[in-house]
Every structure is written in C-alpha cells, then in structure tokens.
Amino acid sequence: MKTGIYPTPPHVSTVTEGVDQHVHAAIAKLNSSLSLLSGWLAFLDWSGHLAVSPGKRLELMELAFEQMQYLSGHIFCTALAASGGQVSDCFDPRSTDHRFRAEEWHRWPFNLMQQSFLLAEHWWGTATTKVWGVSDHHERIVSFTARQLLDIFSPSNGLLTNPVLLHHSTEAGGLNLLHGYLNALDDLKRLVTGQPPAGTEDFVVGRNVAITPGKVVLRNRLIELIQYTPTTEKAFPEPVLIVPAWIMKYYILDLSPQNSLIKYLVDQGHTVFCISWKNPDAQDRDLSMDDYLELGFHAALNAVNAIIPGRKVHGAGYCLGGTLLAIGNAAMVRDSDHRLASMTLFAAQTDFTEPGELALFIDESQVSVLEAQMNETGYLTAGQMVGAFQLLRSNDLVWSRIMNEYLLGERAPMTDLMAWNADATRMPARMHGQYLRHLFLNDDLSEGRYLVGGRPISLGDIRTPVFCVGTETDHVAPWRSVYKLHFMTTTEMTFVLTSGGHNAGIVSEPGHPQRHYRISTNLGGDTYIAPDDWMSATPAKEGSWWPEWSDWLKARSAEPSVLSKSEAVASHYPVLGDAPGQYVFQK
C-alpha cells in the first residue's frame, strides 16, 4: 500500500468549488452584496484588541465622565432655556455636518438632544479609532459601521425630535406628511416596476441632453465611437479622443448645451471623438480588461487615425476611462507607438493604495463574495454599485432624502446631472473581477506588475504631457490619490484641483457660480511636493478650469486650419447614424 499525500481528483475540486460559489452567491444576495465575514473579522479585531487595552478603556471612561459633566451643565441651564433663551453648545458638529445648523436646534429641549447625539458620536469615534494593534482596514470598517448605526438614532431623522420638521408641520397643518407619504408611494411603485426616479422624464437622451450634433463612425460589440465636428471656421489638426468610464453613460460630458464639455471643445475648434460604451449583459460575462483596451481604446484610436491621418491624438480619460487610457498609453510607449500627443485624466486613479472610503468595500472576502455573485449573473448590477456610494454619503444621499421628500414632503428639483446619475450601467463579471483584484487589491498598475499583451507595463515610461484633474470632495477617486501620479512618472504634468465632487467638479462649465480651482505645472524632474503642501502653496482661482484645459490643448497643437471634407468621413469608417447612437439607450 502506498503512503503519502494523495492528490484530490480534479472533478472533486470542481464540484466543491461550484458548491462554494453557489453558497457565497446566495449569501451575497441576502446581504446586499456585502460580506458579513469581512465585518465580523473587523469587529473581532477591534473588540479583541480593545479588551486587552486597559489604557484605551480608561481613556473612554474618562471621556464618558467628562461628557456627563457637559450634559449636566446643559440640564442645569434648563430654566434659562425654558424662558426662551439659548444655551451655548458644549460640542460643535463637524464642519461638513449640516444637520444641526438651524436656529431651532439651539433651544431646549432640542439642544439637549443634539448635544447628546454629538457627544455619543464623538465617544464612539474615539472608541473605534486608535486602538492598539487593530489593522487600519478593520479600524475603518468598524468606525464607518458605528457612524452608520448612530445615524439611525440621530434626532434630525425623527418627526418628534426635529424642531425644524415640527415647525414646518405645524405651519403646513400636517399636509407635508401627506405629500411625503405620496412621494414614498410613488418611489416604491417606481422601484417595483423598474421605472427611473421622478423627474428624470424631463431629461430625455437625444432630446434635451446629449444633443451636441455628431455622427457614429464605428460600432463593435463593446463601443460606438461618435465624431463631433468643430463649429468654428478653422479647426486644430490634432483631434481629441475621450474615453469615459464604462460605469457611467458617456453623456455626462454632453449634458445640457450650457454644461456640455464636448460642445465646449467643438466651439473652441477641436474635433472630438467620444466612446459610448455598450451596457453589458450576461452574454458579455467573459469580456476582460484586455477587451476593453483592444475593443475600446485601441479600436477607437485606430478609427481616429484613419479618419484624420497623419496627426497625433489628444487622449482624455474620465474616472475608470482615465485609468484605461493611462494603461494604454504606457503599453503604447513600451511598444514604440507614439500616436498620442498628450494625456488628460479627469478624476482618474493610477495608484490604488489609498482609494478613500471605497476601500471599506474592497478586501479579499468582499471581492470573493462579489465574484461569486457575478459568476451567477454574468455582471455587476448598477444597484449594487449605487448602494455602496449611498452608504458612503448616507447623510447626503439617504437621510437627507428621507427628511426632505418623505417628512417635509418636498421633492428636490431634478437636474440633468441627477437624471444622468440615475441612468446607470452594468459591468461584465470577468472585467470587474480583474479590475478589483489587479488594480484595487494588488495595486499592480503602480507597482509595475500590470500585464498588457502578457508583458508588464510601467507608468514611468509615459513621456506625453499630462493634464491631471482632481476634485476636492471626491469620494470615488480622492484627489490625493489622483495626485500620486506625480511620483510615478517624470513627464511634464499640469495638475488641477477643482471644487466639487467626482461628477460636479468635472462638469464645471464657465459661468457656473461658486467654482474655484488650483493649477500648477511640474516640468518633469522638479522636486516632488506633497499634496497638502502643494495645496497650501497653490493659490485658488475663481471660475471654471475648462478654459485652462482648452489653452493647454491649444499650446500643444499645431496652428488651426480650415477643415477639409476628407477629415469628416473615412472610407473604412462610414457614418452609421447620428449621435448619441444606439448603445446609450440600452437599459
């Protein structure tokens, strides 16, 4: 009889893996695509280390005693508050917390309620951070979860504990609650029937958004390429190729005429090509990151070169599209392909070691759960992504909506950007798994391990001038993470930090009120400046950053000339239809 370790038969491994996948997919479906084990591991890490940290527990006991003294002082001033006076707060909310700004919150008994809540929030913030031995990832998960649970009990979210709501209800005779009930019923009906949110019917693609005149000149199984002709008499010879993210519909860059970046560019004399991604379904489950590079970026670039031959191309990528553009640029340089004249990145990360609060939902356990679920369906749904973003900004996107629409009974007016945001897309299972693992989990791109065509690429090879835009309040691609491209390449780089978030900071047209930005250029080889030092040393300018980018493109383009008819259509790329094409309408 033979002894030793016997290999597991291949069919057994396949069967057991299949069982595990089905189980994990079922668990993910029950838990809104979240890994409960990831949360439990974080809780055990935190609670276990807190249990063996007597100094931290003593600190928390002292803090609780101090807070009790503060509240006792408030109670002692009850007589002053009852006579209509005000009691000064002992603890102020965060500068970004707007829940308790109204004057009514500073009167008794509501001042006692909001102060009790803020002190509890502060105590739990102290309890869940800086515990000896807890990993950074687990600390962020526990602290985030504690904030979410506390927000449920915020006095601002209750009918009887919110003085602003009570005052409004009294003046309206309770009609606001009736209106809110009707709003809730309407939203529930739309959710059940799969209809878009109320108000989106006022923003119809091709009618009042995405209406810049253009022609579809390429269609394959993954993209449509739309060409936009300059409206000026003369045009710059070098075209602009825009690579938007496939997590979104392309027309965020072509919203209403007054805030369309594409229209702005053609009005400045640029020929613009923009990719419109297909909304993938289960049949596209095996599309990979390489497919998005080949069928997307490279296919579009080849078409642009055929339509406007002999000219280099200004590449511009937004969010994940910017990451793909950086990957493509680095691979092209590696392969001695120099067709790009410049590279512009809008809120796009190339280093994923500090991806902001999105990292809460990205670890081995969480990615495995998502992969199991995607293997069942073939794609990641838009709802799964939207849920994560709503949790990250629950005060702004969840609780404030409940307060305004269901309790105050007031619908927020729908805007073109909000309507676009509701027009979400899916992502293929294979591609998204690769994206999460190779970029987020392993950070292969910035570490020089990312493979294109079976060989690694390096962002340090990029030599084209770079225009890089970060946004101040970005929760998807934090600007300090975007800024890290400075020490991954030595090429000339102009960096812009603009006000606004991931979307509103990019859709920041000239004339938009209350906009500002910072801008500076590193010529390559200059001494590295840390992001916070850069922000302190770079003065803010009022207005939109779009003119700065337009001037930057013009400075790196040849002199404009009259557009010839041969540049409008190429024989190998006949016009297939008018913009916005067909793929943008896919649900």
Whether 274 and 226 have beta carbons less than 8 Å apart is answered as yes
In terms of Cβ atoms closer than 10 Å to its own Cβ (0-12, 13-18, 19+), residue 174 is: exposed
Compute the chain's Rg from CA coordinates. Answer: 27
Sign of CA pseudo-dihedral 189, 155, 418, 360: negative
CA 13 to chain centre: 38
Whether 297 and 267 have beta carbons less than 8 Å apart is answered as no
Q: Would you tell me how many other CB atoms lie within 10 Å of the CB of residue 282? A: 12
- Please name the helix (run of DSSP H) or strand (run of DSSP E) that holds residue 176, with its range, or none: helix 175-193
Instruction: Return the residue matching tokens 């993938």.
Output: 280
Q: Would you tell me how many other CB atoms lie within 10 Å of the CB of residue 32? A: 11
Torsion-angle region of 409 (φ positive above 0: left; ψ -120 to 50: alpha; else: beta): left
- In sequence order, which ranges of 227-288 are alpha helices (DSSP H)? 261-267
* Sheet bearing 516-522, strands edge to edge: 541-542, 516-522, 493-498, 466-471, 340-346, 313-318, 240-243, 272-277, 223-228, 215-219, 577-578
- The span from the CA of 585 to the CA of 587, in Å, is 6
Whether 472 and 499 have beta carbons less than 8 Å apart is answered as yes
Active site residues: 319
Which amino acid is located at 473 in the chain?
A: T
- Please name the helix (run of DSSP H) or strand (run of DSSP E) that holds residue 520, with its range, or none: strand 516-522
Whether 399 and 149 have beta carbons less than 8 Å apart is answered as no
Q: Would you tell me how many other CB atoms lie within 10 Å of the CB of residue 374? A: 26
Q: Are strands 561-562 and 577-578 parallel, antiparallel or unpaired?
A: unpaired
The residues, ordered by sequence, that sit 6+ positions from 304 with a Cβ below 8 Å of its Cβ are: 225, 239, 241, 273, 313
Helix then strand then coil, in percent of the chain rounded to 5, is: 50, 10, 40
